[in-house]
Structure 1
């Protein structure tokens, strides 16, 4: 087991899961250190188990997100590839995306709003990347 400590006093434990009952109980806990820091161990997103740690550091919100998938199959990686390609194709949309992010939008939501892509921004951006031949 490894432990990572963050300035918010949030500790993230990285461990290999086994099927024992005691590990299952530990895995299902959500650890909240304060209003701005949270470790979630029993999260399933799009049918894939994940581990998430959310915290603020130097006035910036961070989210550590792990899935049992190779990096190039993870949606977060695919989103970055798609967003990078979109920005290279049309740099003029950067100001609009940054404005929405300053107003609290997540990156995927900001891209979809600027590009007028309807639906769930996480799924829609992946679909857009497929249709546009980016991924």
Structure 2
């Protein structure tokens, strides 16, 4: 189930913003350009809980930041609002690149961790599992919390009454099976 997010073709079956995201990514050849880095579209757009300000988050496995930075500069450096920075996140050197194309902001995130093992991917998979169980009402309420200013994981934390750190707690759910999700969610805010 988690592997459905590896190839962006699923976006073609989605809502208008997902189809627009697909078109922008294809037009810019982002996945082809970054192929050796295992790019995955993560975040709220793939799981249909985006709001107007949501961007396209593309996560990548990067072990040679200088080479990655050079590629990003040469391929996307001329695009609107291009920015690039290197920082440390969770003790890992991280490259963050941002630019705008066809009205959508794209953020490319590179860390020396397999894309499927990065927190952004794991959060998205867990959030998708939750939404598949709880349905459209949950999606609308999560979107509402995001419109109020909550980031995605804290919005899930509020919606599900998670008292722990929502970032860490959602990550801890990654290896749960379907029955564990059902058991946990039956005592949460929404009846299933």
Task: Sort the TM-score into its range (normalised by shorter chain).
Answer: 0.5 to 0.7
Whether 1:96 and 2:141 are equivalent positions in the alignment is yes
TM-score when normalising by structure 1: 0.63
On the 8 A contact 1:53/1:65 being kept in 2, the answer is: yes
Deviation, 1:61, is 4.7
Higher relative contact order (CA 8 A, sep 6+): 2
TM-score when normalising by structure 2: 0.46
Matched residue of 1:94: which SS? helix
Q: Distance in 2 between matches of 1:95 and 1:58?
A: 26
| Structure 1 alignment gaps of length 5 or more | 11-37
Matched residue of 1:4: which SS? helix
On the 8 A contact 2:99/2:105 being kept in 1, the answer is: yes
| Structure 1 or 2: more helix by fraction | 2
1:31-110 alignment runs, 5 A limit: 38-41=83-86, 43-55=87-99, 60-91=104-135, 92-110=137-155
| Structure 1 or 2: more strand by fraction | 1
Q: Distance in 2 between matches of 1:115 and 1:66?
A: 30
Q: Distance in 2 between matches of 1:131 and 1:102?
A: 29
| Structure 2 alignment gaps of length 5 or more | 1-69, 182-192
On the 8 A contact 2:81/2:100 being kept in 1, the answer is: no
